[in-house]
């Protein structure tokens, strides 16, 4: 077993890897960017090395800097986590050339499985079922049109070097092919530097089922059963579970057997995932699943596999990378109970999943947080046949700041119980008791997905969220009203210091009336508290003396006491233009002394991979500019200050 490890990643996966290393006595080295100086993974590691500016391209994607950090700190190996450089064959080769242990499959395996057309060719040669399609070298329009006709519409155009849902286009009829082809090639070139595409027959109402495989350098290969990842939005996974609901034993044997055959065909070493597309409109059978792709790394959703098998897959990775044999043979790997995982993201589902960033004033995830802290996340605690196990994987806590420059996922809530229904119930209940304040979150959306009858019955498919998007993203209509009444009741509770402090709504010559004017998510209204009908279980978090957050079934409602003085100033225009969230200034269009008009764009920020134009609140003259192009700024920093003409 190696004695020291550098983790070339951040956030929850870096923390997850460090936990296993601590249990095994492996010294850990973290790397961090400017945005992660105070991050949890930095504090958890035994040592940490700064590798660059906040943008990933200037830090976490700088392979040479990471390798140099490993050399300087005496690390024996590098674990890439997932994302960033985890499936970069050139980086894997660089690690090996530097005399370091690469915790992952061989570079040639990453390279062969990274190209979708080559991966499908290898799968076919290994006897793994593959969808009808075209994967030829010819990329001219006439050839692709002819092949599309042969396959039969509808079809999918897929980038050969694709991933993460990019470079994929649905074509329903011949007349749409040219336009969608041009769009797919353009996105593929931009995202991967490779514009080649392949064509594939579309499976309507598809399910996404994947198999966790593991191999070692001694020729051994096993599977750790399957996961169902069919609950997706725009081809990004939302909820994952293991095992797949409704999986017959003969289909499981066929699918897992095909996955192991493919892994052995490429001499696979370490953790990998073989993904299959499944006909969701048909009963699961041995002829309804087809190879999709292979991910040559540890997956985001690996905890559900760990919980149903009682294993620690990071430990397995470290042992295999150190030259050891797999810890278990196939017949010794158990399967018990059901596990489910929800990806918690800093995004607003009600606003087209707009990403957010900023300080976490409150971060509480109900039983998932409380009970996982009591039990810990080590392998000894993961497997318990007769009880419900809660687990939280995160790189954040209350008081931390979520950067604007990385992926929006901030945590994973995982529950394992004796059957699927019990696991869903436990996770849904925990999400309903959760509260995240300071940034938007998708917790309410996740709970609505879990509680929906279609998901409960296991009848969902990859496109189901898109079909039900309005019902799943919008909170119940009475949620905001109840939140306002709850805060009004708390603020109007009598102080009991004397008759003049009573807030009972007494009026001379009229019946009592009690109400309070509050602003809920930006809208002002009058709220009359009703002490007898208030939902006492909803938590209220005080952010400031004027602002509160109320958690309602996973949705967070921001409640403000209106600041009329500030609002009057805002109506008059105001003088300051501040950063609405942490981000990077990518354009500053004014300088001190410039005259500007109301709504003129003064600056442009990039935050959470989106651009935000900041406009002048009124006519005036630029008094000062508080940031430069390229500068990373915190939320609330004054970027431009105006004065009267």
Topology, domain 121-131+205-335: D-amino Acid Aminotransferase; Chain A, domain 1 (3.30.470)
Q: What is the pLDDT of residue 530?
A: 65
Q: Which of 40, 297, 420, 480 is catalytic?
A: 297
Say if CB 356 and CB 582 are below 8 A apart: no
Q: What is the pLDDT of residue 379?
A: 43
**What is the tens place of the pLDDT at every residue in 228-252?**
999 999 889 999 999 999 999 999 9
pTM of the model as a whole = 0.83
Q: What is the pLDDT of residue 378?
A: 45
Q: What is the pLDDT of residue 219?
A: 96
571-643 matches 343-474 in CATH topology: no
**DSSP 8-state class, residue 511:** -
Burial 285-294 (b: 16+ CB within 10 A, else e): eeebbbbbbb
291 or 350, higher pLDDT: 291
Q: CB neighbours (10 Å) of residue 354?
A: 14
- Asked if CATH classification 3.40.50.20 holds for the domain at 4-103, the reply, yes or no, is yes
Beta bridge partners of 222: 214
Say if CB 79 and CB 103 are below 8 A apart: yes
Residue range 571-643, CATH number = 2.40.50.100
Confidence of residue 357 (pLDDT cuts 50, 70, 90): confident
Q: What is the pLDDT of residue 124?
A: 93
Handedness of CA 251, 257, 263, 269 (dihedral sign): positive
Which residues have C-beta within 8 Å of that of residue 544, sequence separation ≥ 6? none
User: What is the Cβ-side half-sphere exposure of residue 560, based on CA atoms within 13 angstroms?
Assistant: 12
Q: How far apart are CA 518 and CA 558, in angstroms?
A: 10
Per-residue pLDDT at 312 exceeds 90: yes
**What is the tens place of the pLDDT at every residue in 37-84?**
999 999 999 999 999 999 999 999 999 999 999 999 999 999 999 999
**What is the tens place of the pLDDT at every residue in 512-526?**
556 788 888 767 888
Q: How far apart are CA 591 and CA 165, in angstroms?
A: 41
Active site residue 207: no
Which residues have C-beta within 8 Å of that of residue 568, sequence separation ≥ 6? none
* CA 160 vs CA 119, 139, 147, 192, 193: distances in Å: 10, 11, 16, 9, 11
**What is the tens place of the pLDDT at every residue in 405-455?**
899 999 999 999 999 999 999 999 999 989 898 888 999 999 999 999 999
Which residues have C-beta within 8 Å of that of residue 325, sequence separation ≥ 6? 216, 218, 220
Say if CB 127 and CB 261 are below 8 A apart: yes
281: left (phi over 0), alpha (psi -120 to 50) or beta: alpha
Averaged pLDDT score across all residues of the chain: 89
Per-residue pLDDT at 343 exceeds 60: yes
Residue 147, judged by CB atoms within 10 A of its CB (0-12, 13-18, 19+), counts as: middle
Residue 544, judged by CB atoms within 10 A of its CB (0-12, 13-18, 19+), counts as: exposed
**What is the tens place of the pLDDT at every residue in 104-162?**
999 999 999 988 888 999 999 999 999 989 999 999 999 999 999 999 999 999 998 87
Can you give the residue ranges of every domain in the chain? 4-103, 121-131+205-335, 134-201, 343-474, 479-496+513-562, 571-643
- Asked if CATH classification 3.30.390.30 holds for the domain at 134-201, the reply, yes or no, is no
User: What is the Cβ-side half-sphere exposure of residue 523, based on CA atoms within 13 angstroms?
Assistant: 7
**DSSP 8-state class, residue 169:** E
Q: Is 601 helix (H, G, I), strand (E, B) or coil?
A: strand
Say if CB 160 and CB 116 are below 8 A apart: yes
**What is the tens place of the pLDDT at every residue in 3-12?**
999 999 999 9
Q: CB neighbours (10 Å) of residue 210?
A: 26
**Strand bridging mode 4-7 / 77-79:** parallel
Topology, domain 343-474: D-amino Acid Aminotransferase; Chain A, domain 1 (3.30.470)
Q: How far apart are CA 118 and CA 139, in angstroms?
A: 15
Q: Is 79 helix (H, G, I), strand (E, B) or coil?
A: strand
Q: What is the mean pLDDT of residues 160-174?
A: 84
Confidence of residue 299 (pLDDT cuts 50, 70, 90): very high
Per-residue pLDDT at 380 exceeds 50: no
165: left (phi over 0), alpha (psi -120 to 50) or beta: left
């Amino acid at each position: 077993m190696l004695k020291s490890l550098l983790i070339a990643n951040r956030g929850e996966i870096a923390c997850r890897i460090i936990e296993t290393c601590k249990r095994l006595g492996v010294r850990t080295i973290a790397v961090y960017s400017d945005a992660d100086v105070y991050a949890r993974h930095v504090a958890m590691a035994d040592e940490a090395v700064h590798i660059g500016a906040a943008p990933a391209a200037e830090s976490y994607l700088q392979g040479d800097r990471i390798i140099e950090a490993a050399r300087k700190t005496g690390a024996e190996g590098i674990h890439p986590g997932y994302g960033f450089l985890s499936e970069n064959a050139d980086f894997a080769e660089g690690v090996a050339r530097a005399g370091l242990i690469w915790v992952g499959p061989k570079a040639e395996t990453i390279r062969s499985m990274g190209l979708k057309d080559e991966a499908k060719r290898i799968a076919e040669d290994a006897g793994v079922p593959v969808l009808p399609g075209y994967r030829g070298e010819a990329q001219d329009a006439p050839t692709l049109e002819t092949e599309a006709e042969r396959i039969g519409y509808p079809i999918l155009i897929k980038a050969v070097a694709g991933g993460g849902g990019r470079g994929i286009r649905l074509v329903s009829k011949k007349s749409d092919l040219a336009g969608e082809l041009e769009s797919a090639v353009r996105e593929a070139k931009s995202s991967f530097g490779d514009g080649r595409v392949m064509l594939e027959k579309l499976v309507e109402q598809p399910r996404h089922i994947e198999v966790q495989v593991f191999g070692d350098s001694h020729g051994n290969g096993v599977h750790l059963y399957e996961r169902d990842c069919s609950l997706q939005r725009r081809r990004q996974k939302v909820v994952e579970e293991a095992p797949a609901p409704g999986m017959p034993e003969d289909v499981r044997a066929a699918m897992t057997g095909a996955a192991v055959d493919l892994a052995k065909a490429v001499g696979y070493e370490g953790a990998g995932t073989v993904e299959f597309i499944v006909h969701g409109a048909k009963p699961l059978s041995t002829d309804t699943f087809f190879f999709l792709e292979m991910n040559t790394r540890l997956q985001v959703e690996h905890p559900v596999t760990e919980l149903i098998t009682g294993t620690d897959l990071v430990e397995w990775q470290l042992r295999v990378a150190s030259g050891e044999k797999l810890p278990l043979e196939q017949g010794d790997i158990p399967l018990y109970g059901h596990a489910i995982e929800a990806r918690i993201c800093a995004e607003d589902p009600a606003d087209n999943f707009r990403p957010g960033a900023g300080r976490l004033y409150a971060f509480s995830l109900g039983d998932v947080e409380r009970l996982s802290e009591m039990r810990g996340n080590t392998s000894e605690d993961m497997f318990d046949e007769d009880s419900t196990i809660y687990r939280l994987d995160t790189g954040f806590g209350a008081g931390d700041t979520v950067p604007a420059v990385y992926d929006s996922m901030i945590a994973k809530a995982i529950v394992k119980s004796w059957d699927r229904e019990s696991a869903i119930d436990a996770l849904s209940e925990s999400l309903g008791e959760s509260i995240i304040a300071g940034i938007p979150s998708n917790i309410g959306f996740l709970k609505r997905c879990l509680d929906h009858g279609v998901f409960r019955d296991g009848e969902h498919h990859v496109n189901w969220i898109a079909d039900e998007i309005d019902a799943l993203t919008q909170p119940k209509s009475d949620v905001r009203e109840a939140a306002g009444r709850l805060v009004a009741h708390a603020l109007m509770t009598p102080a009991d210091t004397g008759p003049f402090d009573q807030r009972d709504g007494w009026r001379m010559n009229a019946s009592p009336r009690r109400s309070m004017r509050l602003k809920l998510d930006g809208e002002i209204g009058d709220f009359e508290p009703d002490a007898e009908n208030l939902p006492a279980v909803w938590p209220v978090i005080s952010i400031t003396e004027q602002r509160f957050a109320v958690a309602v079934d996973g949705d967070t409602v921001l409640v403000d006491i209106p600041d009329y003085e500030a609002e009057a100033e805002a109506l008059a225009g105001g003088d300051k233009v501040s950063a609405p969230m942490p981000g990077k200034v990518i354009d500053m269009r004014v300088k001190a002394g410039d005259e500007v008009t109301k709504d003129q764009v003064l600056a442009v920020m990039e935050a959470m991979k989106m651009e935000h134009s900041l406009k002048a609140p009124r006519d005036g003259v630029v008094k000062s500019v508080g940031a430069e192009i390229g500068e990373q700024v915190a939320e609330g920093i004054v970027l431009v200050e105006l004065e009267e003409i």
